Structure 1
């Protein structure tokens, strides 16, 4: 079957502007695995370490941070390496090997729970996560680079990325909406965590290999090697002011998201006090994301990508603040067929889900579309561009953000009195629960506001390029 897909894909006629639907779908499918690996460890690894392994919240944050610091070096290096080998081998070897090892590493992360001490557990998980992060770097950097290579038309690239967003949504449903409820549905013990890891790790492998062997290998191929030296390649990134502004914006706003991911499980366990609501929340949020995609593509064409990006970020920030008032439901607002009784608070949680889905999908789509524009303008102005190197730096900012988020969250949770445990979730004091709520509302909204201040420099930087 793989050979058949590969043969069909390699015979495809590549256009410099219009991208065939099958190519869009095969490219987008890899994001299921990418999103699973990004979201599930961000949302579940701190929870797994603090409730199953007895690791302190602040130590769990450090465990996530160290491998993410490594990818600041690893991602650009993978980008340069894939750029160098692309003329001869395409980006396929990186996608295939990286995808396979990412899935296997994901399985291992949640499959071990017997350690002599929390310290040993933290060290072991840290080493595993370092290996997993390196494997994911081998896949994610070339994967992101391909987005700017699939078409020379800016609006067509937005369409490609909007299809990719559908697979982002599927990955979010699995990694955030299904993974944790599945663990607790299976009993919440070590075997339950291991079953979840094997299932979703296998999905990672299949999704990533579909991209590796499905997208034509000659997309974006160049006929000759690039003679530029390594230092001159790195200098081209630093000299690209629009890229630096966009990367800084993305870093800060992803820290905002990462804070929320780090405590989303805690929010539904303690603040909402109904873990079963997490899956409906994610489904409703993702439905809003999917339905809004045509709207954001249309608005980006009508208003411009920058204006649409502002609207999406501002909307997300305002909705996020409203989590400050979340609390357990203690009334009956309505009775729904197949659902049963729904409280007012639970109804408001689902209302937030729709609005978060609309706004989050907007800026998540547009920030990557803006990235492809920056790379394309570099290509037009300089005659050459290292898509992998630029993508590597951009990818490193995301991974650094998803390291800083858990560190910030872990330190804040420890400060507000969160109590770690082994064998399952423990009861928490009101102050600790209040800390979780602040980390899911005011803190990320404030950080998002900082990212928009940085983004005010983007337009001028783009004009001066």
Structure 2
């Protein structure tokens, strides 16, 4: 009777590949996450400072507070979805309910009064809080699904490749069209029309993901025992998860700051408000081309190596933007395209690594803590993306940025300098710090294969 050599890690039996319908259907959920993750980060701060006339520091707080609520809510949403029993699958009901609520909330976000400022500010806070709540109950179950859909290390990379490709397309379409719609309609009604259009886009992604994942298999694991606090302590004790999460949060903070700066850089550094669309295309567009290439890099060199390489490109492109005020416009666009190439891999690889961490824990413990893992993960991502515009607003405030109600206020030289540095040097430093954490991550393919054994799966009829 032959035995496997001790030096070779045990290999889990092969699992059937996911159907094309399931992979593409799951990826459609990124239309919703991409649109909501992008447009508020891109336009909500300018809406507050240059449409409602709210001071930059206060505007940063308004943007941050509803997102901070998600940091508390996301682990709770994950815990609830872990214990949900549904004939359509434990996560899918949340896709529909949370997603529809998100679309409605987003339509209301930019539809409030423009005066008086106190009422306008309160409207934004309440509407954004509603959006954040609905988003938590959509995003957390959505991110949890890959760890339950397949136990195959490389199949998860395939799943995330499609997701990130659709995510990049959604970010590109929503991020490029949102300021264009605003500018075409005019500031008075442009934000309202833009909010309604993006809400419809979110709804398309929600319904596509809900229908497309109906035939997805679901791994059968026992619901987790103990309370939420106990589960959070267990998750916090997972070393590789902490390192991966810390890396991703720092990079979310960096990209959140860059997104918040696009509109300001276009108007005050390049001198053309219309340049915001092209800047955004340069930032996100490369992902449509290079995501499949990053998948090949991951297959050849491993996910961690690919994540590190893409992060280095992200930081290098940001550093090249430091002298943006004195660079030719074409050079600014090219440097931002380098950022975009790195950004594509820095999105795909951690999303493909997270299910590995969560699934290994589920196999070792026999308990379903995947929702808690993803709840903490999305809480961290939300915190980073929320702090990014807040950090950028702080840089603007330190630079003496002058808020107005018609975007026409002249800015001092210190404010223009702050606009450029918040868009370049600050993100580059944050990405550099994240690489220190990633260097300590150890859960590569051999480690995953050594830990995972085939789990029973059951197909959920939806």
| Structure 1 residues 218-257: aligned runs within 5 Å | 219-220=217-218, 222=220, 226-257=224-255
Aligned-pair CA distance for 1:29: 0.8
Partner of 2:103: 103
TM-score (norm 1): 0.88
- Range moving further from structure 2, 319-328 or 65-74: 319-328
Deviation at 1:202, TM superposition (A): 0.9
How many residues are treated as equivalent by the alignment? 434
Verify the 8 A CA contact 1:90 1:217 in the aligned structure 2.
Answer: no
Q: 1:443 Cα deviation (Å)? A: 0.7
CA contact (8 A) 1:90 1:221 kept: no
RMSD: 2.2
Cα deviation 1:340-381 (Å, max 9, x = unaligned): xxxx82322332243222111011100111111111221232
Indicate the residue corresponding to 1:365 in structure 2.
348
Sort the Cα spacing of 1:57 and 1:81 in 2 relative to 1 into closer, same or farther, 3 A: same
SS of 1:265's equivalent?
A: helix
Question: 1:279 offset after TM fit, Å?
Answer: 2.4
Give the Cα separation in 2 of the matches to 1:66 and 1:400.
10
Residue 297 (structure 2) aligns with = 299
Residues 73, 133 of structure 2: 8 Å contact kept:
yes
Alignment of 1:211-222 (within 5 A): 211-216=209-214, 219-220=217-218, 222=220
Q: 1:429 aligns with which of 412, 436, 448?
A: 412
Which residue number in structure 2 is paired with residue 196 of structure 1?
194
Counterpart of 1:122 in structure 2 is 121
Please, which of 273, 286, 292 is the counterpart of residue 275 of structure 1? 273
The range that moved more, 215-224 or 357-366, is: 215-224
State the partner residue of 1:451.
434
Post-superposition offset of 1:245: 1.3
Give 1:235 shift. Answer: 3.0
Q: Distance in 1 between matches of 2:47 and 2:178?
A: 12
Structure 1 residues 412 and 362: alpha-carbon distance in aligned structure 2, compared to 1, 3 A threshold? same
Distance 1:317 1:225 in 2: 40
Asked if the contact 2:359–2:370 (Cα under 8 Å) also holds between the matched residues in 1, the reply is no
Q: Deviations over 1:371-425 (max 9, x none)?
A: 1111122123222332111111000001111221122111211111111111334
Deviation at 1:19, TM superposition (A): 1.1
Q: Whole-Å Cα distance in 2 between the matches of residues 407 and 357 of structure 1?
A: 22
Paired with 1:460 and 1:99, the residues of 2 have a C-alpha distance of: 32
Contact kept? 1:52, 1:113, Cα under 8 Å: no
The change in CA–CA distance for 1:280 and 1:122 in structure 2 (over 3 A counts) is same
Matched-pair contact (CA < 8 Å) for 1:55–1:121: no
Distance 1:248 1:191, change over 3 A: same
Long gaps (5+) in structure 2? 1-13, 452-462
For the residues of structure 2 that align with 1:441 and 1:230, how far apart are their CA atoms? 39
| Corresponding position of 1:141 | 140
- Give the secondary structure class of the aligned counterpart of 1:459: coil
Task: Output one character per residue of 1:156-192: Cα deviation in whole Å (capped at 9) or x when no partner.
Answer: 11111110111111221133222112211222x2211
The separation in 2 between residues aligned to 1:288 and 1:97, in whole angstroms, is: 33
Segments of structure 1 that go 5 or more residues without pairing to the other structure are 1-14, 329-343
Residue by residue over 1:114-146, the C-alpha shift from the partner in whole angstroms, topping out at 9 and shown as x without a partner, is: 322x23322221111111100111100001001
Q: What SS does the corresponding residue of 2:40 show, helix, strand or coil?
A: helix
Contact 2:82-2:223 at 8 Å conserved across structures: no
Distance change in 2, residues 1:297/1:54 (3 Å):
same
Instruction: Name the SS of the counterpart of 1:85 in structure 2.
Output: coil
CA–CA separation in structure 2 for the residues paired with 1:327 and 1:235: 47
Structure 2 partner of 1:438: 421
2:366 corresponds to which of 380, 383, 394: 383
SS in 2 for 1:422: coil
- In the alignment, the residues of structure 2 paired with residue 242 and residue 452 of structure 1 have an alpha-carbon distance, to the nearest angstrom, of 14
Kept in 1, the 8 Å contact 2:56–2:396? The answer is: yes
Given the alignment, which residue of 332, 335, 349 partners 2:332? 349
Given the superposition, is the C-alpha separation of residues 374 and 223 from structure 1 closer, same or farther in structure 2, using an over 3 Å criterion?
A: closer
Q: Give the match for residue 456 of structure 2.
A: none
Query: What does residue 406 of structure 1 align with?
Result: 389
Counterpart CA distance in 2 for 1:260 and 1:202 is 26
1:249 & 1:82 partners in 2: Cα distance? 26
Contact 1:108 1:128 in 2 (8 A): yes
